[in-house]
Amino acid sequence: MLGNRHASQRDPVIDPTEPAIEADDLRVAYERGRNDERRARKRHPVLMSLTVVAALVGGVVIALAAKEGSFAGGGARFDEGVTTAAARAEPVVRDAASEAGTAIKGAGQSVRDGMSPETPADKTG
């Protein structure tokens, strides 16, 4: 036929003099192929985490929309929740940042106090 398009439907020719494929060789080739595909489809863990978080937020928005009867009502409810969470989290974050700054200043001061006058930090000359 045109282009021999039916050739792939024929039975393959088996050479009886050719040795059969060993099970161990087949297993090794299979594992090598799996590893090659795994390397080719490597995913970045941060991007996958962000994708999962975005999907979860989308699911919550859709669930709220179904509960409220509309996307406008669900969005308003979602905004209320986010505003409440932000209001509760702000003082905690501010205090944590202040404590971290104080700890860094204390660590810097202890390093400066630990240096002896005979060994200045920058030697010029």
Cβ(64)–Cβ(74) below 8 Å: yes
Rounded Cα distance between 119 and 31, Å, is 59
Ramachandran class of 115: left when φ > 0, alpha when ψ lies in -120 to 50, beta otherwise = beta
> What does the alpha-carbon distance between residue 112 and residue 34 come to, in Å, rounded to a whole number?
55
Q: In this predicted model, what pLDDT tens digit does every residue of 8-54 receive, in sequence order?
A: 566 666 776 777 777 888 889 999 999 888 888 777 888 889 999 99
Rg (CA), the chain: 33
Q: What percentage of the chain reaches a pLDDT higher than 70?
A: 77
Q: Specify the pLDDT at position 119.
A: 52
> What is the structure's pLDDT at 89?
84
- Two tokens at 47? 């991007």
Domain spans, the chain: 44-112
